[in-house]
Structure 1
Amino acid sequence: MTRSRAFAHRLRRYYGWYTVVFVLFVLLLALGEQLGLSQPVIGHVFLFVTIAIYAAIGVMSRTTDVSEYYVAGRRVPAMFNGMATAADWMSAASFIGLAGTLYFSGFEGLAFVTGWTGGFVLVALLLAPYLRKFGQYTIPDFLGARYQGSVARLVGLAAAVLASFVYLVAQIYGVGLITSRFVSVEFEIGLFIGLAGILVCSFLGGMRAVTWTQVAQYVILIIAYLVPVVILSYKLTGIPLPQAAYGSVLQKITVREDALFDAPSEAEVRTLYAARARDYQAKIGGLPDSLETERRALIERLNELRLGNASAREIALTERALRDLPRTPAEAEQMWARARAEALERSRPPPRHAQAHPGANAAESAVARNNFLALMFVLMVGTAALPHILMRYYTTPGVVEARRSVAWSLLFIFLLYVTAPAYAVFAKWEVYHNLVGSSISILPEWVSSWGKVGLVKIEDLNLDGILQLAELRMDTDVIVLATPEIAGLPYVVSGLVAAGGLAAALSTADGLLLTISNALSHDLYYKVVNPQASTHRRLVISKSQLLVVAVVAAWVASMRPDNILFMVGLAFSIGASAFFPALVLGIFWKRANRPGAVAGMLAGLALTLIYVVQTHPFFGGSMAHAWFDINPISAGVFGVPLGFVTIVVVSLLTAPPPREIQDLVDYVRYPELRLYPEREE
């Protein structure tokens, strides 16, 4: 048995025992719950035991060797690199957000499933083996070598930091969401609890520690994702195979939608929301006078309440409304526009779950179809361009192992993605069948629990005391985390799901933090600022940058910028437009040169960012400025073609790259060539 096979055999044995012990741990907690163990204790145990496991692996994997720190010594077997890549890939967006998106969007949400999985086909065919053949440590490394020097490297570095930072904020936001709910602490405190777990995993051992931690995290997250949906499948269909059984429940949902959407009470509530939207539109049209009228009315109302026999609650609510009133007409316009958009959305029936490209007419259906295709394209191309994923293929022993690890990655990712549609269908059935139509005075406890963290909101708009579907607002990110409680499963299942979501968020956050810190320390400091820096100094710089980036990302996440899935989609658009054209043409077209690559990366990235800013409400934009009604999450669909065209045109108008660069392309593309044997080390 060769040394590498013996190493792989030991790893299989270690992680096999780890899986068995974790399953026994979950069963032990389930037994404890039956014997009276309280829910807060279960939540704390799940959270802190799993973080302790990751921390222990991180400490045991500490290293001061540059190759180990940056690329795990290039000795990670294909199967385990596939598990680590899957964990790195299946972020809080996949674990927490994907089923929620399928819940609310139905068929349209399949763009995420097909886009993300299809992207790994592009990785296998176009990038992974060639980047591994090139060697080195980072994606800007390749750009700097292929496009001759620091300019392309620095542009790639800036794009890598931007895409990874947006993605990182989403992960830390997910960590805060989970810890604040299951440990009963403030959201901001939950952020920094999770941040401690992230730093312990990546600070001491770099890629080596992150890799072995991510393998452990994959085991937990896939068990956590499958257990509740398998139980739900057996409960609802009698078949513990959700991927095959959810079709019968989907048929029931279709029948329930027919009855629910046409109910008179639902129509009444949606009419009231439409009237609210018109009121907000009138307020916006009457600015600035309408803001002053609103302020005077609240002041008069507050004075009346104080002089009368009003309850303390009424006075407090009016004081809060006055305090939250916008201070300037510009603030009022932005706030009321968001409120109007929400009211308009709730005035319409939700899309039917099984309907492809829903719309009131052919034009609306065409818009839905175009957005589906645009999103699928951006997610596929973005998958093949995200630096923290591509870096993983530097860690394999060779080119063949890099290809195999992509196949393993697809298998491990497939297990979750093929289950997400079932998760959404089962959760929707529980809500439509058991929650909607209930008395608001006796709603389940989970509604209140998730309401405290702002993910579930209920408004009895027609004052009939009955919960209508339009009066229920659930955040996308709550579906997976709350489904065990929605379905009445034991609390230990909720704790397990929280541990899985935490594993998904931490694993991706580890990889992203490492990508950013390595880019700053290796590509900026070592390659540009101080090429004579010692190994010790390089690692010190990397670790210090890691700390700074982690704290800044946590601070941004504490502002709750947007839902997890949009932030992740934005990272994909940034990565796709900045990297994909330059990487693909750099590998497959010798004529691509430095001016073309730099211009292409800058043009694609700039167009993507401009489109997001002018169309997304968070940045003060509006869909009135959208091109072809494409949603801002798919902004990269414009940036990627522009990047390709710009690289080609500028490269043809300028001098071709020198002979040694064209030889480098041959070396990267053809396995038999050994022009630069040191790159294989």
Structure 2
Amino acid sequence: MDLQILTYLVVGATFALYIGIAVWARAGSTSDFYVAGGGVHPVTNGMATAADWMSAASFISMAGLISNMGYGGGLFLMGWTGGYVLMACLLAPYLRKFGKFTVPAFVADRYYSKTAAAVAVICLLTMSITYIIGQMTGVGVTFSRFLGVSNEMGIYLGMGIVFCYAVFGGMKGITYTQVAQYCVLISAYTIPAIFISFQLTGIPIPQFGLGGTMVGTDVSLLAKLDQVVTDLGFSQYTTALPGSKLNMFVYTISLMIGTAGLPHVIIRFFTVPTVAAARSSAGWALVFIAILYTTAPAVAAMARLNLHATVNTAVMSGGDMFAAESSLKHEDRPAWMKRWEVTGLLKWEDKNGDGRIQYYNDKTTNPTAQANIAAAGWAGNELSVNADIIVLANPEIALLPNWVIALVAAGGVAAALSTAAGLLLAISSAISHDLLKKIWMPDLSEKGELMAGKVAMAGSIVVAGYLGLNPPGFAAGTVALAFGIAASSIFPVLMMGIFNKRMNKEGAIAGMLCGLGITLFYVFAHKGIFFIKGTEYLGLIGGANSFFGITPEAFGTIGALVNFGTAYVVSKFTPAPPEHIQKLVEDVRTPRGSKAISGAH
């Protein structure tokens, strides 16, 4: 069957499934809308949590980043997975016992302050909106490539699908839809990996294939990849580091504590009936997450090797990498390259006019390459490959069957939509429950709050779609900034609220504002444009990565330290929390029963 038609059928079938589930599980109360009635089974919740957490960044971008960066790309694996463990061990059970199903609601009660809750809402909205830009961009990329529509139309379609199952189903609809989306995305991720691992190593399990030997040789896959990339002038794949060790360290920490502070994932632990069930669902979620995260390094390495083999025939034959006849003629490029060129994520520039694709590091120190450059006038690397296409194009590069390619398209959409729905619910609950019900309109009825939640959800979808169509420069291309914002604002206030009974409202408010403020300042100073007295300044604070070489995406760690430090100092010079608040903190840390989630406020 034609690839385009097959893709329409597979992706269309998944959309029908998602909408059907939403109709079946539509929310009829605020408890259903916010926490799915609090009766979700731990295994089901674990699967839904995995889908909620594994966004387009995990499915589409992570393996591509590892593929481009090599060993250093492991910081995403360590940061995101380690962060989930932090959340499961240090936050989720205690927050579940506290009984408040949103982060601002916890802040309001723990810090006995509506002002603190309002600041928490600002932090949550800033993080969620930044994060959702990447999800809508992922939807646009996937739709435009596989459904043959424009990027803009892809985002509009994505908005429509999310509207159907998120607005009407609320958390109940989203939970069961995310279970289906997990099944789709994990199948789409692992099946191509199994095929490719078997092709290259004869081992069908990708995790083992990564450490295996190439078919018909005694050379390991990683040794072959190291040889190929170093011969082409790139850094050795198994030892490459992105920037300084300090930056890698703080980047990893930022991803970890940012992950632990994600409000749309935290809220999932309130959909189960007990604290014990929350712990159990956290364990199941880690199992489901591990299936993808242990597969990603194999996908990255194998895709990188196949890509080089496609462009340079000497990769697998062992010939001269830099012989002119070994590089691919542009006119002979495979169909998958032509399809991806249309998206703009794969670009070729014939710098020397020979009609062939040169793909090697511009700064190569390989003597053969340098001699060829001098003799033939080669002008350096001519191929630009965006990291976001590595997973999506992987089955096409490996010449897998059309049904596998169509399945990957459905998986990419499922990953983006599942996280987008979770983020939209977090935004909606912050507006309808934490701002309207708790601060502005305390007499709002349950029916009115449910309607306000749905209206807020619909409005959030429109805003998310607009930002996906017009992404601001400071956030385009990465969701790491969202993790930095969560790390610098939300994670510290939760940790101190649980483990420091002396922390008061003044410290919490000052900490959140300072942590968020300094992180946003650093991000905008490097990635944004400031206007001062009518003059435009770019890179306001001394050039790129001026703070000890730390990149903006990694600065959340510094913001978190500022948050903790500010909160501690302010709390020392202001009155202690009331006695009942301190006893409440002690009680939350004591492993006894839990408040039931009833939807009552």
TM-score (norm: length of structure 2): 0.88
Query: Partner of 2:347 in structure 1?
Result: 457
Distance 1:607 1:169, change over 3 A: same
Q: CA deviation at 1:562?
A: 6.4
Are residues 1:632 and 2:552 paired? yes
Correspondence for 2:287 among 411, 415, 420: 411
Q: What SS class does the counterpart of residue 108 from structure 1 fall into?
A: helix
Distance 1:560 1:653, change over 3 A: closer
Q: CA deviation at 1:623?
A: 4.4
Q: Measure, in 1, the Cα distance between the counterparts of 2:342 and 2:254.
A: 35
Q: Measure, in 2, the Cα distance between the counterparts of 1:421 and 1:527.
A: 45
Query: Partner of 1:654 in structure 2?
Result: 574
Query: Partner of 1:594 in structure 2?
Result: 505
Query: Partner of 2:226 in structure 1?
Result: 254
Q: CA deviation at 1:371?
A: 1.7
Q: What SS class does the counterpart of residue 671 from structure 1 fall into?
A: coil
Q: Measure, in 2, the Cα distance between the counterparts of 1:243 and 1:394.
A: 33
Query: Partner of 1:87 in structure 2?
Result: 51
The range that moved more, 83-92 or 438-447, is 438-447
Correspondence for 1:499 among 390, 399, 410: 410
Q: Measure, in 1, the Cα distance between the counterparts of 2:308 and 2:144.
A: 27
Query: Partner of 2:333 in structure 1?
Result: 443
Contact 2:30 2:599 in 1 (8 A): no
Amino acid at match of 2:92: A
Are residues 1:97 and 2:48 paired? no
Are residues 1:545 and 2:480 paired? no
Q: Measure, in 2, the Cα distance between the counterparts of 1:677 and 1:667.
A: 16
Q: What SS class does the counterpart of residue 551 from structure 1 fall into?
A: helix
Amino acid at match of 1:426: M
Query: Partner of 1:177 in structure 2?
Result: 141
Contact 1:73 1:395 in 2 (8 A): yes
Distance 1:442 1:562, change over 3 A: farther
Are residues 1:526 and 2:433 paired? no
Distance 1:233 1:678, change over 3 A: closer
Q: CA deviation at 1:391?
A: 0.6
Q: CA deviation at 1:162?
A: 1.0
Amino acid at match of 2:30: V
Partner deviation per Cα, 1:185-244 (whole Å, 9 max, x = no partner) = 111011111111111121112111111110111011101000001000111111101111
Amino acid at match of 1:220: V
Query: Partner of 1:395 in structure 2?
Result: 271
Q: CA deviation at 1:435?
A: 1.6
Amino acid at match of 1:385: G
Are residues 1:354 and 2:238 paired? yes
Query: Partner of 1:14 in structure 2?
Result: none
Q: Measure, in 1, the Cα distance between the counterparts of 2:305 and 2:593.
A: 58
Q: CA deviation at 1:254?
A: 1.3
Q: CA deviation at 1:493?
A: 1.1
Query: Partner of 1:370 in structure 2?
Result: 246
Contact 1:166 1:567 in 2 (8 A): no
Q: CA deviation at 1:168?
A: 1.1
Distance 1:550 1:134, change over 3 A: same
Query: Partner of 1:147 in structure 2?
Result: 111
Amino acid at match of 1:629: G
Q: What SS class does the counterpart of residue 239 from structure 2 fall into?
A: coil
Partner deviation per Cα, 1:258-288 (whole Å, 9 max, x = no partner) = 3322xxxxxxxxxxxxxxxxxxxxxxxxxxx
Q: What SS class does the counterpart of residue 624 from structure 1 fall into?
A: coil
Q: Measure, in 2, the Cα distance between the counterparts of 1:564 and 1:181.
A: 22
Distance 1:160 1:173, change over 3 A: same
Query: Partner of 1:121 in structure 2?
Result: 85
Contact 1:83 1:218 in 2 (8 A): yes
Are residues 1:512 and 2:388 paired? no
Contact 1:667 1:673 in 2 (8 A): no
Q: What SS class does the counterpart of residue 178 from structure 1 fall into?
A: helix
Partner deviation per Cα, 1:352-399 (whole Å, 9 max, x = no partner) = 2111437xxxxxxxx521121111100110111010011111111111
Partner deviation per Cα, 1:578-623 (whole Å, 9 max, x = no partner) = 1111111110111000000000000000010011111226884374
Q: What SS class does the counterpart of residue 479 from structure 2 fall into?
A: helix
Structure showing the higher helix proportion among its residues? 1
Q: Measure, in 2, the Cα distance between the counterparts of 1:406 and 1:544.
A: 31
**1:609-628 map, 5 Å:** 609-616=520-527, 620-621=538-539, 623-624=543-544, 626-628=546-548
Amino acid at match of 1:352: Q
Q: Measure, in 2, the Cα distance between the counterparts of 1:509 and 1:624.
A: 31
Q: Measure, in 2, the Cα distance between the counterparts of 1:120 and 1:393.
A: 12
Q: Measure, in 2, the Cα distance between the counterparts of 1:395 and 1:202.
A: 16
Partner deviation per Cα, 1:127-181 (whole Å, 9 max, x = no partner) = 0000000112211000000011211100001111110111111111111111111
Identity of aligned residues (%): 44
Structure 1 residue runs without a partner (length 5+): 1-36, 262-349, 359-366
Distance 1:259 1:213, change over 3 A: same
Distance 1:576 1:152, change over 3 A: same
Are residues 1:556 and 2:446 paired? no
Amino acid at match of 1:498: A
Contact 1:46 1:499 in 2 (8 A): yes
Contact 1:616 1:623 in 2 (8 A): no
Query: Partner of 1:288 in structure 2?
Result: none
Structure 2 residue runs without a partner (length 5+): 212-219, 313-326, 360-380, 531-537
Distance 1:623 1:423, change over 3 A: farther
Q: Measure, in 1, the Cα distance between the counterparts of 2:244 and 2:512.
A: 29
Contact 1:476 1:563 in 2 (8 A): no
Correspondence for 1:189 among 149, 153, 160: 153
Are residues 1:108 and 2:64 paired? no
Q: CA deviation at 1:125?
A: 2.0
Query: Partner of 2:307 in structure 1?
Result: 431
Distance 1:560 1:498, change over 3 A: farther
Amino acid at match of 2:352: N
Q: Measure, in 2, the Cα distance between the counterparts of 1:120 and 1:230.
A: 26
Q: Measure, in 1, the Cα distance between the counterparts of 2:430 and 2:401.
A: 44
Amino acid at match of 2:570: V
Are residues 1:668 and 2:544 paired? no
- Could you say which structure has the larger radius of gyration? 1
Q: Measure, in 1, the Cα distance between the counterparts of 2:279 and 2:20.
A: 30
TM-score (norm: length of structure 1): 0.78
Q: Measure, in 1, the Cα distance between the counterparts of 2:236 and 2:580.
A: 58
Q: What is the Cα-based RMSD across aligned positions, in Å? A: 1.8
Q: Measure, in 1, the Cα distance between the counterparts of 2:596 and 2:13.
A: 45
